């Protein structure tokens, strides 16, 4: 991954976090690393703990940002969520998996799309 791609991803995650906070969610963790990879954002939405995958794209050449969350990534995120819950000791009444898509074409304002219960 290039530094430009990393910077774009970090910027998208900051926008996503601000969007979730504005929606009334409470951030519990960011960029949490487990054995299978990383969870971008862990948040609380009412009684639910929400594991958020953030995808940022400048263009649609490779599809929308949300389309980049494939089966393998979903499987990994479920494993990571179980690890996070075990380590944190949090016992939520509900667990949800969301995708926050940030589409930021050059010269235009970014569009943030929060897909609740994406998988």
Query: DSSP for 24-43?
Result: T-EEEEEEEEETTEEEEEEE
**Percent of the chain whose predicted confidence (pLDDT) is above 70:** 100
Which residue would you say has higher pLDDT here, 68 or 13? 13
d(CA 77, CA 69): 10
Q: What is the pLDDT of residues 55-106, one digit of tens each?
A: 999 887 778 888 889 999 999 999 999 999 999 999 999 999 999 999 999 8
Query: pLDDT value at position 113?
Result: 96
CB-facing half-sphere around the CA of 31: CA atoms within 13 A: 7
pTM of the shown model:
0.93
Query: pLDDT value at position 52?
Result: 98
Query: pLDDT value at position 103?
Result: 94
Q: Where are the domains of the chain?
A: 3-115
Architecture label for domain 3-115:
3-Layer(aba) Sandwich (3.40)
Picking from 13, 91, 7, the residue whose alpha carbon sits closest to that of residue 52 is: 13
Query: pLDDT value at position 68?
Result: 87
């Amino acid at each position: 991954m290039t530094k430009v791609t990393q910077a774009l991803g970090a910027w998208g995650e900051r926008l996503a976090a601000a969007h979730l906070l504005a929606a009334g969610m409470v951030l519990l963790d960011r960029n949490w690393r487990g054995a299978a990879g990383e969870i971008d954002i862990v948040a609380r939405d009412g009684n639910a703990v929400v594991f958020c995958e953030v995808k940022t794209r400048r263009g649609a050449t490779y599809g929308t940002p949300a389309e980049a969350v494939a089966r393998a990534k979903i499987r990994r995120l479920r494993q990571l969520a179980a690890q996070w819950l075990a380590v944190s000791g949090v016992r939520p009444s509900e667990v949800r998996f969301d995708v926050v898509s940030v589409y930021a074409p050059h010269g235009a304002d970014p569009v943030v799309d929060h897909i609740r219960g994406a998988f």
